Amino acid sequence: MAQPDHIVIGAGTVGVSLAYGLQKRGQSVCVVDGGASDFRAARANFGLVWVQGKGGNLPAYARWTAESAALWPRFRDALEQCSGIGLDYQKPGGLVFSLSEQALIDRRAVLEEIGGGALPEGVEMLDRDALQARLPDAPLGPEVAGASYGASDGHVNPLKLLAALQQGFLELGGEILWDWPVQTLRTTDDGYELTGPDGETLRAPNVIVAAGLATPGIVAPLGVDLPLRPQRGQLLVTERMAPMLPMPCSGLRQTADGTVMIGTTHEDVGLDTGTTQASGTMVAERALRILPALSGARIVRQWSGLRVLSPDGGPLYTQPEAYPGLWTVSCHSGVTLAAIHAERLAEQILAGALTGDTRHFSKDRFHVPTLA
């Protein structure tokens, strides 16, 4: 194989979004993927393309998210055409429920703070009656006081997104090496060299590490210290049902297939992807407080995934000063940001530097001492 311009480590949603974006810009890209037992957040995702409420502590993240959501429809069109795979993407707006009058007031306050004193554009507060009117097939539980509605929110089938990104990237001439877990990453005279299984090596002038929770371990030997931690989320999904939820909600969404996804927990349990009855019961109880009629729906699967979190929850994009051409890209919201990763971030990586809002996403914001 001829030496590619870029190697991307990780064929998950984040890695392949970038690979797809770079390949589209005329670069030659090779993606290497890990083993079957890797954590694979991309296969555990809830499927929201979500804007409202994000970036309270990091305004650049709010803008970056909103821009990506705005790019999504065009990104979808191009990706579906290129891959031949439908994404089930819809942008009907999204809801965050409040289970008491006080919670509704608090919710408004949080959103107004993000909006700089007023509700952000496209966001409105719905009282119980207005909310029920938007969900005619889903009688609300007695505690539901209302919800915030964000017009920019939407949802997608995250598994189809991943498959389409991989297929689209391949259609554009990219290459994916499956089952190629990276053993070592080292510098060479003109770039980087990766060692994979059986001592096989790959070289390229540019390397993007988008390996989720495995990212810190890959760059640590170079003295690059990344502050990422896992957080477990457990989800339930029901059998297919007739349409009842016309728009995604935080913690509750009906997919195009008719299944209802119910989420999710936030657990600090390290690298444990197990599921527990206790968490299943907790999310089921919450879902029933919102929609009691879900009581009879059969759960067909419970699973968990590990979120890839930085200390402030925002994205972490870094090109260490001592290693030009070496990037690490990790974030918790790989689905929402897929569009902007394939466009703006791919452009900036090609240009060799982060510009604009993305400058706020470097690891320097955490003041972690590095050897680099």
- Give the binding range for another protein (CB under 8 A) out of 157-165, 202-210, 224-232, 329-337: 157-165
Q: Which residue number, 293 or 322, has a Cβ lying nearer to another protein?
A: 293
Neighbours of 220 (CB within 10 A): 12
Q: What is the dihedral of CA 47, 49, 50, 51, to 10 degrees?
A: 170
Q: Does 134 bind another protein (CB under 8 A)?
A: no
Among 295, 321, 351, 371, binds another protein (CB under 8 A): 295
337: nearest Cα among 9, 15, 8, 87 = 15
Considering only residues 300 to 339 of the shown chain, the ones binding another protein according to CB under 8 A are 300-303
Considering only residues 164 to 183 of the shown chain, the ones binding another protein according to CB under 8 A are 166-167, 170, 176, 178-179
Q: Is 364 left (phi over 0), alpha (psi -120 to 50) or beta?
A: alpha
Q: Does 132 bind another protein (CB under 8 A)?
A: no
Tell me which H or E stretch contains 204. strand 201-204
> Cβ 190 to another protein, closest distance in Å?
30
Q: How far is CA 44 from CA 177, 273, 306, in A?
A: 22, 10, 8
Q: Does 17 bind another protein (CB under 8 A)?
A: no
Dmax over CA atoms of the chain, in Å, equals 67
Among 297, 326, 338, 340, binds another protein (CB under 8 A): 297
Q: Which residue number, 157 or 319, has a Cβ lying nearer to another protein?
A: 157
Q: Check: CB of residue 194 under 8 Å from CB of residue 207.
A: yes
Q: Does 190 bind another protein (CB under 8 A)?
A: no
Among 60, 222, 299, 350, binds another protein (CB under 8 A): 299
Q: Which residues contact 237 (CB under 8 A, 6 or more apart)?
A: 259, 260, 261, 262, 299, 300, 301, 302
Neighbours of 371 (CB within 10 A): 9
Among 109, 118, 133, 242, binds another protein (CB under 8 A): 242
Whether the upstream peptide bond of residue 264 has omega within 30° of 0, thus cis, is yes
Q: How far apart (Å, rounded) are the C-alpha atoms in residues 162 and 44? A: 11
Q: How far apart (Å, rounded) are the C-alpha atoms in residues 314 and 206? A: 24
Q: Check: CB of residue 237 under 8 Å from CB of residue 262.
A: yes
3-state secondary structure of 189: coil
- Give the binding range for another protein (CB under 8 A) out of 92-100, 199-207, 277-285, 345-353: 277-285
Q: How far apart (Å, rounded) are the C-alpha atoms in residues 339 and 161? A: 11
Q: Which residue number, 87 or 345, has a Cβ lying nearer to another protein?
A: 87
Q: Does 115 bind another protein (CB under 8 A)?
A: no
Q: Does 90 bind another protein (CB under 8 A)?
A: no
- Give the binding range for another protein (CB under 8 A) out of 24-32, 46-54, 114-122, 135-143: 135-143
Among 280, 312, 350, 362, binds another protein (CB under 8 A): 280
Considering only residues 40 to 79 of the shown chain, the ones binding another protein according to CB under 8 A are 40, 43
Among 14, 79, 126, 162, binds another protein (CB under 8 A): 162
> Cβ 241 to another protein, closest distance in Å?
5
Q: Check: CB of residue 83 under 8 Å from CB of residue 168.
A: yes
Q: How far is CA 204 from CA 13, 26, 185, 191, 211, in A?
A: 22, 16, 11, 6, 17
> Cβ 342 to another protein, closest distance in Å?
19
In the chain, the N- to C-terminal Cα span, in Å, equals 32
Among 106, 121, 127, 137, binds another protein (CB under 8 A): 137
- Give the binding range for another protein (CB under 8 A) out of 106-114, 188-196, 292-300, 359-367: 292-300
User: Applying CB under 8 A, what is the total number of residues that bind another protein?
Assistant: 49
Q: What binding mask, one character per residue, do residues 20-39 give for another protein by CB under 8 A, x or -? A: -------------x--x---
Sites of contact with another protein (CB under 8 A): 33, 36, 40, 43, 137-139, 159-160, 162-163, 166-167, 170, 176, 178-179, 236, 238-242, 244, 257-258, 262, 275-277, 280-282, 284-285, 287-288, 291, 293-303
